[in-house]
Amino acid sequence: MSRVLVIDDSPMLVELTVRALTAAGYQASGAVDLASLEQKLTEGPAALILMDVNMPEMFGDDVVEYLRSQKKVSSKLVLYSDISEEELATKARTSGADGYIVKGQGLEAVLAEVIKLIGPPAITAVPPAASEPPPAPAAAAPEAASAPPAKSGGLPAAPATGKRKPRILIVDDSEMTARIIEADLVTKGFEVHVADTADKATKIILKKQTRPDLVLLDVRMPNVNGEQFCRFIKSNSLFKGIKVLLCSGENVEELQRICREAGADGYVPKDAVMSSLVARELNPAPASQE
């Protein structure tokens, strides 16, 4: 039996982790609160339960103790959090958990720990076609990269009179960076939304009235990085009309690799964007001569 339960109050992280485990061949499902966990436990035994530490109703290490002492669960129990590894290791030891995973280590660490504790799945499932990100168009990355950032290269066309403004979502954990880019895009006539985490970005994308035409996505972010979030967008048929441009300080070769493998529509080096904006502020257009 290779059933794995993922318990996390972040729907985004639950979906990403369940997708990764399912693609690896495990029977995976998720829950975002304790009531949902109770329901999942009635559906049959699990080989392993991955438990977030900072749940709103109860700490994950307390849930581990509850599952062991009250529910008599024999599943392998693993704590999962972005707290320091030293603190996480202590919580795992004192609660009787079978292991722990630092969220910042990514989905690869989750798969490695699951395989270590319960072994590989008996039969490797073929991932559903929907979970495979579509390949990025061959010309998309260079096109976006070479377009002058100050002219919004690769972005939707300027709005026609009487039509909705093109909507852009900036996802970046640097508030200063996000606000500078936002101000520039607003002056160009775009409707702009900003999120500093993938969770907040997901809530914006899920609402039809705020769903963007394009996501300008930082690559290096906590918990769920830009590459993982891009895969999430591109593998969900609900979001098939959304374009994704990576905007990062990574070197161009790395950006091209991530763009290709995550299915992004293109990339814009962040230093090029920021340099262009700063240069324009420092060198305003000269006043017209009388």
Chain length of the chain: 290
The residue among 118, 147, 167 that closes a domain is 118
> Alpha-carbon dihedral of residues 220, 229, 267, 179, nearest 10 degrees?
-60
Same domain, 143 and 278: yes
Same domain, 114 and 137: no
pLDDT of residue 28: 92
pLDDT of residue 98: 93
Whether 204 is covered by a domain: the verdict is yes
What tokens were used for 162? 């009487």
Residue 94: domain span:
3-118
Instruction: Return the higher-pLDDT residue of 149 and 197.
Output: 197
Neighbours of 282 (CB within 10 A): 7
pLDDT digits (tens, 9 = 90+) for 92-101: 999 989 999 9
Q: Which phi and psi (to 5°) does residue 116 adopt?
A: -65, -40
pLDDT of residue 142: 36
Q: Are the C-beta atoms of 28 and 1 separated by less than 8 Å?
A: no
Same domain, 109 and 138: no
Q: Percentage of the chain with pLDDT > 70?
A: 79
What tokens were used for 209? 């009235």
Whether 125 is covered by a domain: the verdict is no
Q: In what order do the strands lie in the sheet with 48-52?
A: 27-31, 3-7, 48-52, 76-81, 99-102
Neighbours of 168 (CB within 10 A): 25
Question: Strand locations in 128-287, DSSP E?
Answer: 167-171, 191-195, 214-217, 243-248, 266-269
Q: What radius of gyration do the chain's Cα atoms show?
A: 22
pLDDT of residue 114: 92
Q: Closest Cα to residue 154, out of 172, 141, 167?
A: 141
For every residue of 104-117, DSSP letters joined together read: GG-HHHHHHHHHHH
pLDDT of residue 276: 57
pLDDT of residue 15: 81
Residue 71: pLDDT band (50, 70, 90) is confident
Whether 76 is covered by a domain: the verdict is yes
What tokens were used for 232? 């999430």
CA distances from 285 to 67, 281, 282 (A): 66, 9, 10
> What's the CATH number where 201 sits?
3.40.50.2300
pLDDT of residue 50: 93
Q: Closest Cα to residue 104, out of 83, 120, 126?
A: 83
pTM equals: 0.54
The residue among 118, 144, 167 that closes a domain is 118
Whether 44 is covered by a domain: the verdict is yes
Domain total of the chain: 2
262 pLDDT exceeds 80? Answer: yes
Strands 243-248 and 214-217: parallel
Same domain, 164 and 70: no
Q: Are the C-beta atoms of 204 and 171 separated by less than 8 Å?
A: no
pLDDT digits (tens, 9 = 90+) for 151-180: 334 555 555 545 788 999 999 988 888 888
Residue 195: pLDDT band (50, 70, 90) is very high
Whether 124 is covered by a domain: the verdict is no
90 pLDDT exceeds 90? Answer: yes
Same domain, 43 and 138: no
Same domain, 138 and 269: yes
Instruction: Return the higher-pLDDT residue of 59 and 191.
Output: 191
269 pLDDT exceeds 80? Answer: no
Output the CA torsion sign for 149, 152, 153, 155: positive
Q: Closest Cα to residue 247, out of 151, 136, 172, 157?
A: 172
Q: Are the C-beta atoms of 216 and 181 separated by less than 8 Å?
A: yes
